[in-house]
Amino acid sequence: MSIRTRLQVALWAMVIVPNIIMISLIISLLYFLSDQTLHELMYDEKYYKDRQAIALGELSYVMRYEPERMENDHYLNDFQNRLTELQAGVVLERNGNAPIVTPMLRQAAPHEDWSKLVEEDRDQIAIDGYLYQIVRQDIVFADGGEGKVLLLRQQEQIPISWKIIVVTVGLFVLVGTSIFLTYTVSRSILKPLYSLKRSAEQISEGMLDGEVRPVNKDEIGELSTAFEAMRQRLKSSIAERLQEEENRKRLLSHISHDLKTPITAIKGYIEGILDGVANTREKQEKYLQTAYRKAADMDRLIDELFLFSKLDMQHVVYDFKPIDIRRFMKHYAEDQQFDLEKAGIVLELHGVAGEPLLVAADTEKLSRVFHNIIGNSVKYMMNETGDADRRIEISLRGLPGGYVQFQIRDNGPGVEPDALPMLFDQFYRTEQSRSTETGGSGLGLAIVKQIVQGHGGYVEASLPADGGLAITVTLRQWRNGHEHDAEGR
């Protein structure tokens, strides 16, 4: 429930709930009261008021036209008795003397100062928990004496205390309901807010492991979900930043190592020339050629570092176009055929015949993938297998689900099985074949991985049963003007 709806419900409940409770109390009270009591409350009050009005009329008539009857003890006692039955009474004062008070009134209010009441200009008085109305009338007796008559009649059958109780209960119900609803609603809002505040403080202090869980499905819950998404993004961002920093440190370490080796060699050969160690023209030429090769290796290493850095930071722009991968591989093999045959390596193609097989690729970057993989195979076959039969096989096939897969396999020395997961890491070299003696930078296959991932594909290495190393690249197929995804859409 949203906070807005919750507040609206609470406001309506503050109005409706007290009324329901009061109505329930009234119904319960009526249910438990006897029929006689209900009759007295509902009908006797009207009866009493009517009779009291008649008595008041009689008193007014007597005081105006027959005032001497007020001195008649028999009439006065009879009138007082009738008034007592009607929950009324008379206070008669003559010539400033102590007033005559109906016994019912004296009994109900034994400590009341009736003389003071006669002098005061009051129209109501509370007696024995009931409210009485006062009707005043001046009177002149037969002997010329003056006096006052006060008729006190009970206004309602319900005691004043009952009214106070009803009002008190009503206020208590109203205030209690308001307090309860206010506490409940505020608690349902403040509790998740405090929880969210603690989570925000933890995030601000860098503690990103604590999950921000939404307590309710409302606006605060949505805010908690947003905070949780922010926490996850911050945690992921910090983890990526730390990983990038670690990679940067490792990259600098490898760069320093890989640049120091050829620089040291170049420095040694130049010092040999300067010190006269190369004292013949043939030695000097040999030293200079070696230094030149080392400088060329450094130049190639710097180029690969620059390319890898751009790929890693995703600063390389790909020019994707639909190409026929069969035709592309055939042309690439024709371009490399002469150099490979010169090195004594046989290049075989499989699966390049048939209908065009389209993929979305940057031809320049894809050529770099083939060049690095084949160059890696050539380099280690030349250093490890001597004059043995050297062979590279390139095979292509379409996969179900809209994928294209090509594999480049050699019959070289291969790698240890434990090295396969790390083969595409930057600057990784195995002890058996990835040594600096081969002249490699350790970035070739790392660049392959970055380019393939940039094409939306993936690359993996495996060890064939008959030896060597196989690099398999999988790309998404291009159909009907868009790349075909894994579901074939």
Q: What is the DSSP string of 45-105?
A: HHHHHHHHHHHHHHHHHHHHH-GGGGG-HHHHHHHHHHHHHTTEEEEEEETTSPPEE-HHH
Answer with the one of 124, 158, 192 that is the final residue of a domain.
Answer: 158
Q: Inter-axis angle of helices 281-312 and 444-454, to 10 degrees?
A: 30
Summarised one tens digit per residue, pLDDT across range 270-321 is 888 888 888 888 888 888 988 888 888 788 778 777 777 777 777 778 888 9
For residues 230 and 202, the answer to whether their CB atoms sit within 8 Å is no
Which has the minimum average pLDDT: 280-289, 379-388, 406-415? 379-388
Provide the pLDDT confidence category of residue 358 given band limits of 50, 70 and 90.
very high
48: left (phi over 0), alpha (psi -120 to 50) or beta: alpha
Look up the domain containing 364 and give its range: 317-483
Q: Flag whether 295 is in a domain.
A: no
151 burial via Cβ count (<10 Å: 0-12, 13-18, 19+) = buried
Q: Measure the CA–CA gap between 214 and 224, rounded to whole angstroms.
A: 5
Q: Flag whether 5 is in a domain.
A: no
Give the dihedral of Cα atoms 209, 215, 218, 221; nearest 10 deg: 0
CB < 8 Å & 24+ apart, contacts of 290-298:
290/265, 291/265, 291/266, 294/262, 294/263, 294/265, 294/266, 294/269, 295/262, 295/266, 297/262, 297/439, 298/259, 298/262, 298/263
Burial 436-453 (b: 16+ CB within 10 A, else e): eebebbbbbbbbbbbbbe
Task: Tell me which residue has tokens 């003397």.
Answer: 97
Summarised one tens digit per residue, pLDDT across range 30-43 is 666 555 555 555 55
Q: Flag whether 465 is in a domain.
A: yes
Q: Which CATH number covers residue 106?
A: 3.30.450
- Residues 403-408 have a mean pLDDT of 93
Q: Flag whether 257 is in a domain.
A: no
Q: Taking all residues of the chain, what is their mean pLDDT, rounded to a whole number?
A: 78
Please, where are the H alpha helices in 142-280?
160-204, 219-274
Summarised one tens digit per residue, pLDDT across range 130-178 is 788 888 877 776 666 777 878 887 777 666 666 677 778 778 777 777 7
User: According to the per-residue pLDDT averaged within each range, which of 50-54, 393-397, 417-421 is highest?
Assistant: 393-397
> How many other β-carbons are positioned within 10 Å of the β-carbon of residue 399?
12
Largest CA distance in the chain: 172
The pLDDT score that the predictor gives to residue 131 is 82
Q: Which CATH number covers residue 413?
A: 3.30.565.10
131 burial via Cβ count (<10 Å: 0-12, 13-18, 19+) = middle
Q: Flag whether 123 is in a domain.
A: yes
Answer with the one of 158, 177, 208 that is the final residue of a domain.
Answer: 158
Q: Flag whether 212 is in a domain.
A: no
The pLDDT score that the predictor gives to residue 431 is 46
